[in-house]
Structure 1
């Protein structure tokens, strides 16, 4: 069925865990109720999802590293019936929440990048629909083996990494070993792998192998690959896929061999995606599934072939004396400079203009902020040229390995 690190688990092994769960919680305690889980073991997570959904219940998944007190508070606020924390061996904490869910659903908290995390509910029938359309777009088969480097408590790892693979008969490998050398060795010894990871993990793999690692296929999500990392991944990978999604709908678009780091592929067939804008002036990405519409607050555009391009968050746009500046456009100029590895452009306060453009860059020691600014002056209108460029050893990221322009604006 699947591997966790080096250990192989059959469908019978998972069913045994399911029976153990059924001994701890009766069907009546699950049906129509919400069961919360902050578990670390992928097999326990998958087994619990199967038991809860089969019994007509809903499951709230949280990261396995969530402290018990925080997990219990979140579960109580969500009206959960019970919470499994850490390991199934600890048994369920009965909360006796009164929330009722008539339709079996997957519940997760949003990333919180736009404020306090909110609980998102997705009917399990919608998840199954996503899996079917995702596999159609990915065009993989059972011979290609997914290596999942992200937690299965998150939709990216659980739905597109594991459940989609099982549906098409593949045998995924879920990696929980924190040593990146283990993952690197696994990738090198699995010739037809599909590696699921966020850009930060690909950067780590490139660093520890001194750029000698090669890939069959990679699927990157969470944020677009950027700069030198984008070029490195293209040079050492047979097929690079970028994937874009949101908490409310799961995967929205996926595409192989992106033309640029902004290219996140073609929308899945069951979704209608609108992005009224252009590369020079992107619009908000709005996604509709049947009668349900999500305003993503992401900025983007579609090219002539219908491929979706992501420019960042709508609130990342910088207003310089009434003129809009798209961080993506300035970053592209910085990435064109030899020696620039990473670059992020974000807004900063200006006592006269209101907002100004600022850039943080990792680059070779031969590049100075003045040299980078000169390149921007040669390629950009004056209002788009960063007023300040800072060269650093490492760009600060969130715990999930993402760059947050909002946090950079507030703290740097």
Structure 2
């Protein structure tokens, strides 16, 4: 059915777990109840999710590294009745309130634009996404999904694992974050699609032996720098990208990405609208049950959805919009710059200012950086402030909060 690192688990293994769960009243009676799960036993986590979904209950996934007090806080904020912490026998009762709604999968939003929100998705909507995703993804049943991202998030859980099982392949869930181990597993599965975050894909592509190219890779979550994509395309037979949000799951797939801002073609179960290239506007997702205003700025051209920036991250310089990705791309084209992030700061006199943090292999004079930017950017796009750092601060999910870097309250 699926692998976890080097261990293969069959349908019979899952059914044996179900028998154990049926013997425990706090699990057997999970219908109309909301169970939070925090465990580093990935097989146990997957079996519990499948069991609770089958029983009509609701699941609140919590990352396994979360300490007990933090897990209790997250589980309580999501309205959980029960927290299973590291063991099916170690449970904490949190609420006795009845819950008569349809079973749901609860995801916490990334928190890049403020406090994380609790997002509820019915299992039927997850099922609709899986069906649409499998029909669109250009891979066959012989291609293993190698999932090197958390299965507590919908990207790894729904797209990486559940969709792989649906198309008849066997997902390989990797919890060992050592890049050399991941490359070893990829060699064992030469026909693969690797699900990972951009930073990990970049690291792996730098370490990849010449005689071991990637088959297919999927990226999501944050836009990949152009220089990273160039290297990844050199090392891969196919580079894909998908786009979505916590409320909707995946809504677009690009089957062969050449430009990082191109998110791909909308899936058949959704309607996606945005502006055009000259007048980009908010990306709006229409599902059968709701309309989602993403607060992402983008456009559609030749049926391909492109993402420019979070609307809150767009920098207004004297009435002219600056999109951070465009400036970051120029900065990272300097071979000495390893990573860069562009954000805005408020100035009482001049309004919003373009600022940048960067990691580089050697010291770079600010005037030299400005001269480099002048070759490729309009004056209003050039950062007023360059800050060298040894590491760019990121949130626990690996994303950058531009608001936090700019000192703007979130």
Q: Which TM-score bucket, shorter chain as reference? A: over 0.9
Query: Which residue of the partner structure matches residue 11 of structure 1?
Result: 11
Query: Which residue of the partner structure matches residue 316 of structure 2?
Result: 319
1:101-124 per-residue CA deviation (whole Å, 9 max, x = no partner) reads: 421211122112222212111110
1:155 Cα deviation after fit: 0.5
Confirm whether residue 285 of structure 1 aligns to residue 298 of structure 2: no
Q: Distance in 2 between matches of 1:344 and 1:277?
A: 26
Q: Distance in 2 between matches of 1:28 and 1:172?
A: 27
Q: Distance in 2 between matches of 1:108 and 1:157?
A: 12
Query: Which residue of the partner structure matches residue 205 of structure 2?
Result: 206
Query: Which residue of the partner structure matches residue 256 of structure 2?
Result: 257
1:8-52 per-residue CA deviation (whole Å, 9 max, x = no partner) reads: 111111111122122223677311111111122221122111221
1:202-239 per-residue CA deviation (whole Å, 9 max, x = no partner) reads: 13323455888621000111112113211111110110
* TM, length-normalised to structure 1: 0.92
Query: Which residue of the partner structure matches residue 112 of structure 1?
Result: 111
Alpha-carbon contact 1:224-1:261 (below 8 Å) kept: yes
Aligned length: 408
Query: Which residue of the partner structure matches residue 72 of structure 2?
Result: 72
Tell me the SS of whatever aligns to 2:367.
helix
1:148-200 per-residue CA deviation (whole Å, 9 max, x = no partner) reads: 01111111111000000001110111011132211121123321111100012
Q: Distance in 2 between matches of 1:386 and 1:76?
A: 43
**Residues 128, 352 of structure 1: alpha-carbon distance in 2 compared, 3 angstrom cutoff:** same
Query: Which residue of the partner structure matches residue 194 of structure 1?
Result: 193
Query: Which residue of the partner structure matches residue 165 of structure 1?
Result: 164
1:340 Cα deviation after fit: 4.0
Query: Which residue of the partner structure matches residue 216 of structure 1?
Result: 215
Q: Distance in 1 between matches of 2:396 and 2:103?
A: 30
Match for residue 293 of structure 2 among 286, 292, 295:
295
Unmatched 5+ residue regions in structure 2? none
**Residues 349, 102 of structure 1: alpha-carbon distance in 2 compared, 3 angstrom cutoff:** closer
**Residues 171, 100 of structure 1: alpha-carbon distance in 2 compared, 3 angstrom cutoff:** same
**Residues 357, 99 of structure 1: alpha-carbon distance in 2 compared, 3 angstrom cutoff:** farther
Confirm whether residue 81 of structure 1 aligns to residue 81 of structure 2: yes
Query: Which residue of the partner structure matches residue 344 of structure 1?
Result: 341
Query: Which residue of the partner structure matches residue 356 of structure 1?
Result: 353
1:399 Cα deviation after fit: 2.2
Deviating more after overlay: 335-344 vs 66-75: 335-344
1:351 Cα deviation after fit: 4.4
Deviating more after overlay: 324-333 vs 37-46: 324-333
**Residues 313, 151 of structure 1: alpha-carbon distance in 2 compared, 3 angstrom cutoff:** same
**Residues 34, 403 of structure 1: alpha-carbon distance in 2 compared, 3 angstrom cutoff:** same
1:291 Cα deviation after fit: 4.0
1:347 Cα deviation after fit: 0.7
Q: Distance in 2 between matches of 1:365 and 1:219?
A: 32
1:387 Cα deviation after fit: 1.1
Deviating more after overlay: 317-326 vs 95-104: 95-104
- The CA RMSD over aligned residues, in Å, is 2.2
1:342 Cα deviation after fit: 2.8
Query: Which residue of the partner structure matches residue 51 of structure 1?
Result: 51
* TM, length-normalised to structure 2: 0.93
**Residues 322, 33 of structure 1: alpha-carbon distance in 2 compared, 3 angstrom cutoff:** same
